[in-house]
Structure formats: C-alpha cells, structure tokens
C-alpha cells in the first residue's frame, strides 16, 4: 500500500485537462498498487500564502528560538512538508500559464522548500532531504512544447526538474496533454496523454 499526494493547481475544476490527466495518473497508480491512499490538495481552493518578510524571518530562525507567533506562521508550511514526507508518490496537475506554473503552485513550492526540512547544505553543497519518492507531473498546455518551434519555450519541464530535484525528488515523469487550445490537436490531446502514462 502506498500514499499518494495529489496536488491540483488548475482553477478550472472538472473542465481542466490537467485535472483529468492527473486523475487518470492517480487511477492507474491505485490500480497497480491497490489499497493505496490518496490525499488531495487543491491549491486553487486551499491556497498557500506568498512569502512575506515575517515568513522569511521565521523560516530562517532556528527551531529553538521561534516565538509562538512564528510557530503559528510556519504551521501551514510544516504541515505541507509533513504531507510531502508521508507521500510515496506525488502527482501534480499543472496548467501552463504564461510560460510558467500557476502562482498557487509556486506558493506551495515556496512553502515546502525549507532549509533543514527538505534541503540542507554541507561541505559538498546543497543536499535534498527527500528520497525514494516518485513524482508524476500532468502538464496541460495550450500549445506544443515537447517538440517543434515552441520547444525552446519549455521552461516548466527544466524548472520542475531543478526545483524538485533540489529537495531530492529526482524521479520525475512528465506527462503532457499538449495543444489543448489548438483546433487540430485538442480533440485527442487528453487521450494521447492518458495512453502515455506509465506507472
Ligand atoms: C492565464 C492563462 C495563461 C495561459 N498561458 C499559456 C501559455 O503561455 N502557453 C500555452 O501554450 N498555453 C497557455 N494557456 C492555455 C492553457 O495552458 C491551456 O488552456 C491548458 O489546457 C490549461 O490547463 P487546464 O485545462 O488544466 O486548466 C494559458 C491559459 C490561461 C488561462
């Protein structure tokens, strides 16, 4: 039995290609590992705060020197990190917004990348503190970025490998529903992506 963390970042609910695709990943995963438990985190309805001065200060304060207010401030981030640590597999549905990830997902990332909790530095440089977890990215894009003229604008794939790899999440599969805004591709975009899911 495995624990799956399913992160949703499209605000478009059941209309969303990335939600349909990430649901399909979760379904295939639970088919393979029956009895797995799924925790859903919908960032468009359950958002994380932007980092402000107080939060950054709290994140940089040693545990034993935290004030009660700072502990309160960090609670959401602490819980999100625990949720991530408990997961064996993380499925993240992402709509491409203006060549990047939705800001709601960036806020979650800013909450879970924390020195001493998910990464640390030693004499060899940065070290990710998470390990043994599989990550599936269900990425929906209006255009096509895996090949063709827009390939050099595929910032999200390399960004996710860098930022998730930084905390030790290095086993990442990106499944793409591409051309969701293109008349000739949108019809088959989802089905093509679903058939590319390999668990
Ligand atoms: C605010 C916004 C920005 C977008 N920016 C891009 C973009 O930069 N490139 C692109 O190919 N599609 C872009 N799209 C199209 C979405 O990536 C596409 O509709 C995708 O299917 C959205 O995912 P969802 O269906 O899971 O919501 C954008 C859509 C919205 C609403």
Per residue in 160-179, pLDDT (tens digit) is 999 999 999 999 999 999 99
Q: What is the pLDDT of residue 9?
A: 98
Where the chain has pLDDT below 70, the residues are none
| Beta-bridge mates of residue 125 | 122
User: Torsions phi, psi of 119, nearest 5?
Assistant: -150, 160
Q: Which of 16, 19, 42, 96 is the best mutation target for the ligand 1 pocket, counting ligand atoms within 8 Å of the beta carbon and taking the most?
A: 96
**What integer pLDDT is reported at residue 65 of this predicted model?**
98
User: Where do we find the tokens 């379904």?
Assistant: 27
* Residue-level pLDDT at 150: 97
Helix 17-32, helix 186-195: angle, nearest 10: 20
Q: State the Cα–Cα distance between residues 155 and 145, nearest whole angstrom.
A: 9
Partner residues linked to 185 by β-bridges: none
Contacts for 117 with CB less than 8 Å, ≥ 6 apart: 81, 129
Total structural domains within the chain: 1
Q: Which of 94, 141, 159 to mutate to test the pocket of ligand 1 (most atoms within 8 A of CB)?
A: 141
Give me the pLDDT at residue 173, please. 98
The region, left, alpha or beta by phi > 0 then psi within -120 to 50, assigned to residue 72 is alpha
State the Cα–Cα distance between residues 90 and 83, nearest whole angstrom: 10
The pLDDT value recorded for residue 1 is 83
Domain holding 140, by residue range, is 3-195
Q: What is the CATH number of the domain that holds 172?
A: 3.40.50.360
Residue 167 φ then ψ, to 5°: -100, 10
């Amino acid at each position: 039995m495995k624990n799956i963390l399913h992160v949703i970042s499209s605000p478009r609910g059941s209309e969303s290609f990335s939600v349909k695709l990430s649901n399909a990943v979760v379904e295939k995963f639970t088919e393979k590992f029956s009895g797995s438990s799924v925790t859903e985190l919908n960032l468009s309805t359950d958002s994380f705060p932007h980092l402000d001065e107080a939060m950054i200060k709290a994140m940089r304060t040693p545990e034993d020197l935290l004030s009660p207010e700072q502990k309160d401030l960090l609670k959401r981030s602490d819980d999100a990190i625990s949720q991530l640590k408990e997961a064996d597999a993380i499925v993240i549905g992402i709509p491409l917004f203006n060549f990047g990830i939705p800001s709601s997902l960036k806020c979650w990332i800013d909450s879970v990348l924390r020195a001493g909790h998910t990464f640390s530095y030693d004499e060899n440089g940065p070290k990710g503190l998470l390990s043994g977890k599989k990550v599936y990215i269900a990425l929906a894009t209006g255009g096509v970025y895996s090949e063709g003229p827009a390939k050099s604008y595929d910032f999200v794939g390399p960004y996710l490998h860098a930022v998730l790899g930084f905390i030790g999440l290095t086993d990442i599969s990106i499944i793409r529903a591409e051309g969701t805004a293109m008349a000739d591709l949108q019809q088959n975009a989802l089905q093509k992506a679903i058939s590319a899911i390999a668990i």
